[in-house]
Structure 1
């Protein structure tokens, strides 16, 4: 799925990407790290009455995501 998104972005001349993932989502964070995402920031988000901690992962060159699929 990440490779498909990256390929779509590349066709639109978008070459970098950032995703936010909940800090408690350890498997999600590990997934993005395995795909080469670099931790860059954190924040708090609110969902109704619940506050959660998020982390941001970025790819400055999303061609690595497309190559990762092959």
Structure 2
């Protein structure tokens, strides 16, 4: 199962995932994340903003402690 990155924002959902599944954190650079979004044609509102990369870095940094709980 490929879970969305924002899943970690829900402690209950993250707990269920961590206790019932093997988890793997596929770490990538923010630039790689942004390039994938653009290449998929997914022009989320964030992509068009000049601060998009900084926002993405902040989001990923905020989630890092949760992602690090992966097996």
Give the TM-score normalised by the residue count of structure 2.
Answer: 0.33
Give the helix-richer structure, 1 or 2: 2
Give the strand-richer structure, 1 or 2: 1
Give the TM-score normalised by the residue count of structure 1.
Answer: 0.33
